[in-house]
Amino acid sequence: MDKQLNIPIHKSVLTRHFFRYWGIYFLTYFILGRFSSPWKLPAEALGRWWGVCEEISIMPNGSGDTTFNYLQIPLLLFTALIITSIVISVDRKNTAYNQILYWLWTITRYCLAFYLLLYGLGKVNKLQFPDAPMYRLLERVGDMSPMGLAWTYMGYSKGFNIVVGLAEVVPGILLLFRRTTLLGALLAMVVMGNVVAINFCFDIPVKLFSTHLFLAAVYIAAPFAQRLMQVLLGYKNIAELKQFALKINDTGPKIAIMSVKIVISLLLLVMSVNMLKRDSSFANAEENVPLYGLYEAKTFIYKGDTLPPLITDTFRWRYLMLEYKERATVKTMNDSLHYYKIRVGSITKGITMTDRRQEKSYWHYSYTPDSLLVFKGVYDDSVEVYLKKIPISSFRLKSRGFHWVNEYPYNR
């Protein structure tokens, strides 16, 4: 162990080359990779060679997942390989390995600390996720992009911004000091793992950069992996956790305790299977729910009169939502929601709707030649509702999907 570094020294030549290469790569990415212009021509050449693009017209902007960014990664990997080969050829006997590792490890942790503090303080000061703009307050959730939904969610609460910001600031500070580096790296792995998941799952175009921050934290903690495994799994070199062990010598109590463990395990297994069955029923709602869909009331006739779509009307339907089995939701023109239990007869085409006051209304459904769903029934008096089905895919939140490459942020 190097006393100056306080990190294990690697005896394997391959391991030394591995740590040396990835240390050089992170320095190449965090330092040389920040300058876009020198990489433009090589990236264009690589793009033409791979048939990705003829030229690069969009350079890094608010999006860090542009075509250029993806083409830059193999160039950086190759550059790091060349630099590593030069270092190995110069230091064939590995006499300077510890010093090189020190600087690679130290500069990488300072780069990671810088970005953790930068983004963490940006959240604490509510700069990264500001309050939702006015246009967003008037927008339907379904019309948001996944990134817009994430930004609105994060920007809602000042307190939450402070919490998640401190979750990045704390490991950033710990990484600045050698004695607390390992703790900082482990915390950074947890925090950045969550950030990576959000970026991938909400189509936020910082996937490449956040992944590199996570991998940098892994690299910083990697020299301690063996000792961590010993501590966490083998309990070597530390006191055995005997205070958590039951000392039972008799066979009867041992069998009883084992039986209880088996029963609890089986119960948890059964509960998990039941949860999976319930989730599958929700996942296949379109097949299991009669008349499944979101419908807009185009025409609403009450007592023989057609009601105009006035936004102050508390009675006229605006939308009908049939999303869950035996449940229906009606949204009236004034945006009030009304919930019903519903039974649909697929053969008789009869419908019974029961509201929360247990009052029932009876309907019959049919289709017009132009595919409008027609509800006819008695709700205080005769009612006819002509409904047009709205494709779920028409909502931006549902149709946007996942994109590896984002030339620009899609924050709608």
Rg (CA), the chain: 30
- What is d(CA 105, CA 99) in angstroms, rounded to the nearest whole number? 10
Q: pLDDT by residue (tens digit) across 172-198?
A: 999 988 888 899 999 999 999 999 999
* Residue 208 clears pLDDT 90, i.e. is over it: yes
Q: What is the DSSP letter of 386?
A: E
Instruction: Give the global pTM.
Output: 0.73
Q: What pLDDT is recorded for position 247?
A: 61
Q: In the chain, where are the structural domains located?
A: 13-234, 246-283, 288-390
> Of 101-105, 107-111, 228-232, 256-260, which gets the smallest average pLDDT?
228-232
Query: Do residues 64 and 407 lie in contact, with contact meaning Cβ atoms separated by under 8 Å?
Result: no
Number of neighbours of residue 216 by Cβ within 10 angstroms = 28
As a whole number, mean pLDDT of residues 371-385 equals 87
- What is d(CA 116, CA 166) in angstroms, rounded to the nearest whole number? 10
* Residue 283 clears pLDDT 60, i.e. is over it: no
As a whole number, mean pLDDT of residues 349-371 equals 88
* Residue 42 clears pLDDT 80, i.e. is over it: yes
As a whole number, mean pLDDT of residues 214-240 equals 76
* Residue 255 clears pLDDT 90, i.e. is over it: no
Mean pLDDT of the chain: 83
* Residue 124 clears pLDDT 60, i.e. is over it: yes
* Residue 166 clears pLDDT 90, i.e. is over it: yes
> Of 126-130, 165-169, 175-179, 233-237, which gets the smallest average pLDDT?
233-237
Domain range 288-390, its CATH number among 2.60.120, 2.40.128, 1.20.120, 1.10.3470: 2.40.128
Residues in a beta bridge with 354? 341, 360
Q: What pLDDT is recorded for position 275?
A: 64
Task: Give the phi and the psi of residue 350 in degrees, each rounded to 5.
Answer: -100, 150
3-state secondary structure string, 252-302?
Answer: HHHHHHHHHHHHHHHHHHHHHHHHHHHHHHHHCHHHHCCCCEEEEEEEEEE
Q: pLDDT by residue (tens digit) across 60-88?
A: 887 888 989 999 999 999 999 999 899 88
